Amino acid sequence: MGAVPIFPKPDQGDGRKIEPENLDADLGDYSIMRMAYLIEKDFAEFYEKSSEANEGKVKGLLIELAGWEKKHASMIREEMEKIIARNSLDLGFYPF
């Protein structure tokens, strides 16, 4: 029996998709995404501040890591905005 890859290649997907089923699922996802957003934002800030205390290759690496974290935060933020729009939510606070 052959090994099943943990992360199938895009063209070998098994057809499963993550789709919101209802408001409860969306709110649970929103809560988790909010935590993930804040973590990514904190790491971006950490790497940026750390880069100020370094030079050369280390500084370059830290700046690159900060950029990655900012992209992650942006992707998460977009998904959170979709949940808000999909459910016409006005939560009265926004984490960004």
Taking only the tens place, the pLDDT of each residue in 40-88 is 999 999 999 999 999 999 999 999 999 999 999 999 999 988 888 877 7
User: What was the pLDDT predicted at 59?
Assistant: 95
pTM above 0.75, yes or no: no
Tally of domains within the chain: 1
Spatial distance between the Cα atoms of 62 and 66, rounded to a whole number of angstroms:
6
Cβ atoms within 10 Å, residue 47 = 19
Residue 33 in any domain: the answer is yes
- Binning pLDDT at 50, 70 and 90, where does residue 27 land? confident
- Look at residue 92 and tell me if it is in a domain: no
Which residue in 85, 92, 75, 80 sits closest to 28, CA to CA?
Answer: 80
Q: Is 47 inside a domain boundary?
A: yes
The answer to whether position 28 is within a domain reads yes
Judge whether 2 lies within some domain: no
Pick the more confident residue, 89 or 81: 81
Tell me if 81 is assigned to some domain.
yes
Q: Which domain holds residue 72?
A: 22-86
Is residue 36 one of the residues assigned to a domain?
Answer: yes
Is 4 within the bounds of a domain? no
C-alpha R_g of the chain:
18
Burial class of 65 by CB neighbour count within 10 A (0 to 12, 13 to 18, 19+): middle
Alpha carbons within 13 A on the beta-carbon side of 92? 0
